[in-house]
Amino acid sequence: MQHDKFSLFGILVFFVLSVTIHAKPKKNSDSLERKPSKVRQTIVLSIDGFPAYYWSDPKYHVYFPHLSELFQKYGVSEIETVNPSVTYPAHTSMVTGFDPAKHGIYNNTLVDPFEKNDGGWMWYAEDIRTPTLWDLAKANRKTTANVFWPVTVGADIDWNLPQYWRKKNPEDDKLLRALSTKDLHKEAELAVGFPLNDVAKDEIKLKTATWLFHKKKPDLLFVYTTDLDTNHHGFGPGSEKALLRLLELDKAIYDFLQSVGAFYPKGPAVVIVSDHGFHSADSVCAPNVILKQKGYINDESGTYQLTFKSSGGTAILLPVPNAVISPSELEGVMTEILKACPGSEWVSATPSNLNFPAALGVLRTSQKLFFSGTRKGEVFSQSQTQVHGHGYWNTLPEMKTIGLVYDPRGKEHTFQSVKDVFGIVKDLLDLKEKQTKGPKSK
């Protein structure tokens, strides 16, 4: 009996000691949870082409379980993009806080109807007319780093790996080595063990971002992923291939966030954002066919008086400088196009409604219609396969996208538009305006 009592006593002592031992880490854990007074580092991560309806419809959550958990825990907003709802204008609005009309990146590509620039995009930071977050960070003596953020060739970023391509072959790697911060591209590829270029998978970009975060320790890191957008264009939003790729990306993004210590009080602030949603079309309208028929576009001479610049769900009508187009002429052209393309709508330009200053107006639609820039074939046709894209007016529900902010200080942030990224990051890093918001000199 004495032996039994001793055993029971021993068990009781062991239990008390165990509770005491295990209580100590809890105390330490509580101290770790204290909110820091300021943010040390901030990461802005863009997931190109993430539609808000993936979050609002629970059936999709199984394809991004890690992000869904973060969205549920920290809150995610359904946010509005800009017009045109395409990648380069939207990403430039994120880093400037302005609409395209002011920051100057009006589309992904140049107005180049005869492709004299060989399909070149608006890659160059010198075309941005307003101060950017990297400009503001520099003025506040903060360091910056970038993995493939759009419109960053030549940007004043301390460690810059800009998005750029020409032929999407190994020769592009030489271009990137030349355009990146000196020796950085080669150093990154050696560290990660894979080529870094525009055809590299997002997993490689995210591993590069992890290396850059730990090796260079930037105050502000931009990271841009593209594979979801690519799969949506190729196979459609909600398609099996796109969703399975999203499942893979979800894991890669989660691993990246874990690797940088995100979502802990002593870790970085995190902004997760996308640039636009996605929509699918069954028919195609090619308004430049009518402009060519009427002589406003002349393929033989390589000249034009009027041309439509398509963004997918919209098409902006642009004249050459000093072109004289009478209101009656314009009305006649638009009447013919609207008759040929059911579901299209014409909106005349006013000083505030379009983001392309020279535009006469824009064709837009809320239907499953896609505007093509081609000058060949029929004006209107039913597509044999669906055309998947964006560029639709930003009030169309399908163009809504997502935004999340994690502030280790516990502060709440308003997130309603892609343009809000600028103000959010400015607040996170306590960036003070030390220059005017006027256009940058070139």
Give per-residue pLDDT as tens, 160-184. 999 999 999 999 999 999 999 999 9
Looking at the fold, whether 52 and 90 belong to one and the same domain comes out as yes
Residue showing tokens 């005491």? 20
Is residue 274 located within the same domain as residue 306? Answer: no
The answer on pLDDT for 437 being more than 70 is no
- Are 160 and 214 members of one domain? yes
Task: Tally Cβ neighbours within 10 Å of residue 275.
Answer: 28
User: Are 341 and 308 contacting, i.e. CB atoms less than 8 angstroms apart?
Assistant: no
What's the mean pLDDT in 259-264?
Answer: 96
**pLDDT confidence of residue 14:** 37
One domain, residues 164 and 263: yes
pLDDT at 352: 75
Residues in Cβ contact with 395 at an 8 Å cutoff, skipping those fewer than 6 apart: 80
Burial group, residue 347, by CB count within 10 angstroms (0-12, 13-18, 19+): middle
Does 333 share its domain with 209?
A: no
Contact 231, 242 (CB under 8 A): yes
Nearest Cα residue to 42 out of 324, 316, 260: 260
pLDDT, the chain, mean: 91
- Residue 258: CB atoms within 10 Å: 13
pLDDT of residue 33: 58
290 in the same domain as 210:
no
Q: Is 13 helix (H, G, I), strand (E, B) or coil?
A: helix
DSSP, res 419? T
Contact 148, 163 (CB under 8 A): yes
CA distance 59 to 80: 22
Among the listed residues 408, 398, 401, the one whose alpha carbon sits nearest the alpha carbon of residue 429: 408
Q: Give dist(CA 311, CA 106) in Å, integer.
A: 10
Answer whether residue 433 is part of any domain: no
pLDDT tens-digit readout, 329-353: 999 999 999 999 999 999 999 877 7
Asked if the structure places residue 20 within a domain, the reply is no
Domain presence at residue 442:
no
Give me the pLDDT at residue 379, please: 98
Q: Pick from 266, 236, 325, 333: which is nearest to 294 by CA?
A: 333
Checking DSSP bridges between strand 306-310 and strand 314-319, what pairing results, if any?
A: antiparallel
Domain that holds residue 322: 284-389
3-class secondary structure, 61: helix
Q: Are residues 239 and 365 in the same domain?
A: no
CATH number at residue 399: 3.40.720.10
The CATH number assigned to the domain holding 370 equals 3.30.1360
Is residue 73 situated within a structural domain? Answer: yes
Write the DSSP symbol of residue 109. B
* Residue 35's pLDDT band (cuts 50, 70, 90): confident
Specify whether 266 is located in the same domain as 288: no
Q: What is the DSSP string of 284-322?
A: EE-HHHHHHHTTSEETTTTEESEEEEE-SSEEEEEEPTT
Clarify whether residues 239 and 299 are in a common domain.
no
Tens-digit pLDDT profile for residues 105-146 = 999 999 999 999 999 999 999 999 999 999 999 999 999 999
pLDDT band at 11 (very low <50, low <70, confident <90, very high): very low
Residue 45 has pLDDT above 70, yes or no: yes
Q: pLDDT of 373-410, one tens digit each? A: 999 999 999 999 999 999 999 999 999 999 999 999 99
| Domain assignment of residue 19, yes or no | no
Instruction: State whether 239 and 366 are in the same domain.
Output: no
Number of domains in the chain: 2
Residue 130 lies in a domain: yes
* pLDDT at site 351: 72
Greater model confidence, 32 or 334: 334
Instruction: Report which of residues 5 and 180 the model is more confident about.
Output: 180
The phi, psi pair for 149, rounded to 5°, reads -60, 140
**Which of 143-152, 236-245, 286-295, 355-364 shows the lowest per-residue confidence on average (mean pLDDT)?**
355-364
Torsion angle in degrees (nearest 10) through CA of 258, 411, 46, 200: -20
Torsion, Cα of 142, 432, 162, 400 (10° steps): 130
Q: Are 114 and 252 in a shared domain? A: yes
pLDDT at residue 370, rounded to an integer? 98
CA 164 centroid distance within chain: 15
b/e sequence 46-71, b meaning 16+ C-beta within 10 Å:
bbbbbbbbbbeeeebeebbebbbebb
Find how far residue 229's CA is from the centre of its chain: 10
CA dihedral 219, 276, 103, 352 (to 10 degrees): -140
* pLDDT at res. 440: 55
Query: Which two structure tokens, joined as six digits, stand for 249?
Result: 């990306």
State the Cα–Cα distance between residues 161 and 181, nearest whole angstrom.
Answer: 7
Per-residue HEC secondary structure of 196-255 comes to: CCCCCCHHHHHHHHHHHHHHHCCCEEEEEECHHHHHHHHHCCCCHHHHHHHHHHHHHHHH
Is residue 176 a part of any domain in this protein?
A: yes
> Rounded distance, CA 253 to CA 427, Å?
24
Q: Is residue 437 part of a domain?
A: no
Specify whether 243 is located in the same domain as 288. no
What does the alpha-carbon distance between residue 325 and residue 312 come to, in Å, rounded to a whole number?
A: 25
